[in-house]
A and B are shown apart, each in its own frame.
Chain A
Amino acid sequence: MNYLPLQIIVSLFVTFVVFRLTKKFKDNILKPSEFIGWLLIWIIVLVVFWLPQTTSYLALFFGIGRGVDLAVYVAVLIIFYLIFRLYLKIDKQQREITKIVRHLALDKKEKSIENKNGDD
């Protein structure tokens, strides 16, 4: 029962996150696959905090000494993956911005040529 305050804080936080996720899902901001994926992640967080011994079983299965270590490894992996995904998304958005800037530049030039021809 040593973990009780932390368990309560984490549970409240997870409840809040799941509430936000559900709202986003209802508002069609999240796809069903994304909603389920995030929900699973947060349920796993709850399980890890309420039943920490479950991570030990998994850790033994993977050949890692302690459950906590496994949780840290998995968390780091997930964070790296998310950063990678974010980087790709930013890169893609940068390219989209360039397309818009280019379109505006060419469009402006064409319009100025048309106006000039119209004046002549």
Chain B
Amino acid sequence: MKTFIIIPCYNESAHLAEVINNVKEYGEVIVVDDGSTDNSRQLAQNLGVTVLEHLINRGQGAALETGDSYALNKGADIVVHFDADGQHQAGEIPKLIKPITEGRADIVMGSRFLNQTGQTPFFKKWLILKPAALFQNLMYGAKLTDAHNGFRALSHKALEKIRITQDRMAHPSEIIEQIVNNELRYLEVPVTIRYYEFGQGLTGGFKILRDIIFGKINK
């Protein structure tokens, strides 16, 4: 199966080379350089992977959609979304892909909360992630244990159906909405997230909420 690993990247020179080397055995790597001002792009190019260049920074959602469009055009059977900051574990990619290759799901999402060994900071879990998961379950009628986990695998069918229009950080919610609207079969598998920093704080959560609301009005 033709698998593409899409890595959106904005000033990630610290971890990018390691991430690329770790994931390249699992598929063709596409780095979407989202207007980085450091040497991320050169790093990726030197490693011989496909690099798509955003001339200016447009956000993670926008970079993923660019990668998806490219992969779809190249006849991808499976696409994996993978963060450039080293949060995700490359060794878990087969676990995400498996339900798709077995025909059990159209899209598989990683969840930090399916296993009990997760190291999510307490406040991040109970103040941000769990309320966000509850919000998206109530809003879209999905049944998920995690929200805004960027580690996911999409089948060709899902890739055709899902169009990310949320440029910034609201795209995971948009993906959930489109999964439900398009009646795609989805699954969660437990994944491990390594935390380097606190990530999106409470203000980040409000920005996401604002983007979702304005995205709805501005369709």
Contact = CB atoms under 8 A, between A and B. Distances in A.
B52 interface: yes
Contacts of B53: 105, 108
A109 B70 contact: yes
B50 interface: yes
Contacts of B62: 98, 101-102
Dominant secondary structure at the B interface: mixed
B167 A87 contact: no
Interface string A72-99: 0000000000000001100110110110
Contact of A106 (B66, B165, B167, B218): B66
Contacts of A109: 50, 52, 70
Nearest to A109: B52
A104 interface: yes
B58 interface: yes
Contacts of A95: 165, 167, 218
Contacts of B52: 105-106, 108-109
A97 B165 CA distance: 12
B69 A106 contact: yes
A61 to B, nearest CB: 32
Contact of A105 (B59, B66, B165, B167): B66
* Most interface-central of A92, A101, A105, A106 (chain B CB within 10 A): A105
Interface in B37-84: 50, 52-56, 58-59, 62, 65-66, 69-70, 73
B32 A105 contact: yes
Contacts of B69: 102, 106
Size class of B's contact patch?
Answer: 20 to 34
A105 B215 CA distance: 24
Contacts of A97: 56, 58
B136 to A, nearest CB: 21
B214 interface: yes
Contacts of A91: 214-215, 218
Contacts of B217: 88
A107 to B, nearest CB: 10
15 contacts: A87-B214, A88-B214, A91-B218, A92-B218, A94-B167, A95-B165, A97-B56, A98-B62, A98-B65, A98-B167, A104-B55, A105-B32, A105-B53, A105-B66, A109-B50
Given A101-B56, A102-B54, A105-B66, 5 more contacts: A101-B54, A101-B66, A106-B70, A108-B53, A109-B50
